[in-house]
């Protein structure tokens, strides 16, 4: 069985400040890790994913996440956030079969001017 914990349900931050959204997972098998973003009134979109190789993965809009196997974490970071980053962020895992995603409860990032 797999589970995902997102420790912060809401993260308020000022524009241009750095941010970290935390994600921890548990699994008895190897996993693939994902961050999805849900902008207001829109569907879920993939932000970035870790499959194998380099433990640091990046998105096209400046987010990055690092897979830490020893700490079973996949925290999402951005050095400088913008108003348009305001959204709900979901961490998710799947196993090698890829037949289902297990999501965390989500973190609402609120960027204030």
- Smallest CA-to-CA distance from 61 within 5, 111, 2 is with 111
Q: Is residue 99 close enough to count as binding other proteins by CB under 8 A?
A: yes
Question: What is the four-CA torsion angle of 40, 79, 11, 15, rounded to 10 degrees?
Answer: -70
Q: Is residue 94 close enough to count as binding other proteins by CB under 8 A?
A: yes
Structure tokens at 13: 């931050």
Give the DSSP per-residue string, 16-42: T--EEE--EEE-SS--EEEEEEE-TTS
Cβ proximity to other proteins: between 8 and 15 the closer is 8
Cβ proximity to other proteins: between 53 and 113 the closer is 53
Burial (CB count within 10 angstroms: exposed 0-12, middle 13-18, buried 19+), residue 59: middle
Interface stretch with other proteins, choices 55-63, 69-77, 79-87, 93-101 (CB under 8 A): 93-101
Q: Is residue 40 close enough to count as binding other proteins by CB under 8 A?
A: no
Q: Is residue 31 close enough to count as binding other proteins by CB under 8 A?
A: yes
Q: Is residue 26 close enough to count as binding other proteins by CB under 8 A?
A: no
Indicate which single residue of 42, 54, 60, 70 sits in contact with other proteins (rule: CB under 8 A).
Answer: 42
């Amino acid at each position: 069985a797999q589970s995902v914990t997102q420790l912060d349900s809401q993260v308020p931050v000022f524009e241009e400040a750095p941010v970290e959204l935390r994600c921890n997972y548990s699994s008895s098998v190897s996993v693939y890790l994902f961050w999805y973003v849900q902008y207001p009134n829109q569907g879920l979109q993939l932000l970035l994913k870790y499959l194998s190789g380099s433990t640091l993965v990046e998105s096209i809009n400046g987010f990055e996440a690092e897979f830490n196997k020893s700490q079973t974490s996949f925290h999402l970071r951005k050095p400088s956030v913008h108003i348009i980053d305001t959204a709900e962020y979901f961490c998710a895992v799947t196993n090698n079969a890829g037949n289902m995603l297990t999501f965390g409860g989500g973190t609402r990032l609120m960027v204030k001017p």
